[in-house]
Amino acid sequence: MEALRNYINTVRHDFAKQKLDEHDVFENPIFQFAKWFEEAVGAQVIDPNAMTLCSASKAGKPSARIVLLRNFSESGFVYYSNYNSRKGSEISEIVENPNCALLFFWPELERQIRIEGVVHKQTPEESDLYFNSRPRESKLGAWTSEQSKKILNREVLNEEFEKLSLQYPDENIPRPPHWGGYLLKPSTIEFWQGRPNRLHDRILYSIENNNWKIERLAP
């Protein structure tokens, strides 16, 4: 254990691949996100749409997990989940804490993107459209799992999956009422580019009078 702690304290990586200048970025952060996302795909980043989603309870207790970005536009960033899961409960109108944060980390490009804003449910029609595009097994999985609930063992899931496979033998599987999409409408978006000597480039976009303001942050 001591050797491992010593190793952690000595891990160092000097970032030097690229730079980020506030005079070179797009005025709209969604366009800047699209540019960086395209470059992440081109660099063959594994799961470039994987992002950390941070939510919190009404009392302020935080939790984080990885989810997958499934769409984005000037309206915001879309992901899908079980509405009854922990993250769904923390975001629901009952708990009244729709404030969330997203984090993309692409080490191959020495880049991070931090996004903060408010989350809303998509319309049922929007959720239906995406659900119908999913593979059959993924649709069955959405019905199988009561996400975040305690279960006795793995066999509980396997048996439920097999039962549902017989109930829905083809692709015609309805969307569960407890499953659907969320849209995070951003209020701030920060682009982080690793630089030498820990003097990283940080460009912050924030909403001011319905327009995006661009500022540089100290690393």
Residues identified as active-site: 198
Sequence-distant (≥ 6) Cβ neighbours of residue 112 within 8 angstroms: 103, 104, 105, 106, 190, 191, 192
Sequence-distant (≥ 6) Cβ neighbours of residue 148 within 8 angstroms: 82, 84, 85, 86
Q: What is the DSSP string of the chain?
A: -HHHHHHHHH------S----TTTS-SSHHHHHHHHHHHHHHTT-SSTTEEEEEEE-TT--EEEEEEE--EEETTEEEEEEETTSHHHHHHSTTTT--EEEEEEEEGGGTEEEEEEEEEEEPPHHHHHHHHTTS-HHHHHHHHH--TT---S-HHHHHHHHHHHHHH--SS--PPPTTEEEEEEEEEEEEEEE--GGG--EEEEEEEETTEEEEEEE--
- Spatial contact of 147 and 84, defined as CB atoms under 8 Å apart: yes
